[in-house]
Amino acid sequence: MAVIDRRWLPLNALRAFEAVGRQLSFTGGAQRLQVTQSALSRHVASLEDLLGRPLLERRPSGLALTPAGAALLPVVKKSFDRLEEVMNDILQEEAGHQRRLRLHMPPSFLHQVALPILSDFRREFPDILIDVSTSLGTGLPPTEVDVAVVYDRPQAGDTVRDLLWMVRVAPVCAPGIAAAAAGLDLSQFLAGQELLHVKLQGEPIGTHWTHFARAQGFALDIRRGMAFDTVTLAAQYAMAGQGVVLADIDMFASEIAAGRLVAPYDVTAEDGYGYYLAFHSEDLGDPVISLFRSWMIARLGRLVRKSA
């Protein structure tokens, strides 16, 4: 069986396949690379001949990746993206430009936790520019970044994941709402309150409350209340004097300490989710990523210990 050697990697064919695979179109790939479709087709065919199996198949609805193509495309894309990024960094450093670090964080994490940390990081390391993006959902972001904070359950994969903290939730509300808890047990209190829900990708509304109530040993009608995209929005609504939200007590430690949010009952639960710092294993040697990784772990370690 033939073995691929990096000395003979068909770079032009790989670049052609990546362009076609991104667009799932020979026309789109040719426009992207500014070459003819026939040239692109020959390159892809030569790569398929080398591997001994098809990478693309024509269907009535258009082009589709075969299993081999689906396995190869993300690796080729990531490799070319990383080469492009590093070479541009070298060019920028040579021209006296600053290094740019691309970060992705969930909206609530960014708003509640990360903004002051990023401000301190920039103050200490002004030569590193920060490019921050955010999006809803669990797991890794859809766009290519250097470092991502992800809200997720424990996952195995091809990325390095440092656990920042496991989420511990408690029912919290405004002081006026908490006063209604006097003389009631937790199930009675929640039965009489508006429940504030946080949407969870791929899960029905009310999932957090269902798991929490089950862990406490009682049933809860989750059909009541309002649903929000982020826990920050739900908590802000609660602080305005409306409803009860399950909130991460570490993320909202300052609001709880200041009395803007109150936990009427001394009960917390882990919901299986945590915040992880994630990046590609091949970036372990990148000094900027390594610096930011150490900084975040140290800062968030102090934050969680302080609120515990």
| Residue 1 covered by a domain | no
Clarify whether residues 165 and 85 are in a common domain. Answer: no
Per-residue CA distances from 127 to 103, 115, 228 (Å): 16, 18, 38
Tally of domains in the chain: 2
pLDDT of 308 higher than 80 = no
Q: State how far the Cα of 86 lies from the Cα of 49, in Å rounded to an integer.
A: 31
Q: Are residues 112 and 36 in the same domain?
A: no
In angstroms, the CA 112 to CA 157 distance is 28
Mention every residue, 6+ apart, whose C-beta is less than 8 A from residue 252.
Answer: 112, 172, 235, 261
- Burial of 37-60, coded b for 16+ CB within 10 Å and e otherwise, reads eeebbebbeebbeebeeebbeeee
pLDDT digits (tens, 9 = 90+) for 27-45: 999 998 988 999 999 999 9
Residues 167 and 245 in one domain: yes
Of 66, 92, 118, the domain-final residue: 92
pLDDT digits (tens, 9 = 90+) for 44-85: 999 999 999 999 998 888 899 999 999 999 889 888 887 887
For the segment 120-143, the average pLDDT, to the nearest whole number, is 83
CATH number at residue 74: 1.10.10.10
pLDDT band at 186 (very low <50, low <70, confident <90, very high): very high
Q: Residue 9 is encoded by which pair of tokens? A: 């990697």
* Domain match, 124 and 38 both: no
- Residue 74 and residue 109 share a domain: no
Same domain for 117 and 192, yes or no, is: yes
Same domain, 196 and 237: yes
- The pLDDT tens digits for 246-289 are 999 999 999 999 999 999 999 999 888 899 999 888 788 888 89
Q: What is the extent of the structural domain holding 56?
A: 6-92
Q: Same structural domain for residues 31 and 110? A: no
Quote the CA–CA distance of 62 and 272 in Å, as a whole number.
41
Q: SS3 of 9, please?
A: coil
Contact between residue 208 and residue 169 where contact means Cβ atoms under 8 Å apart: yes
Domain assignment present for 170: yes
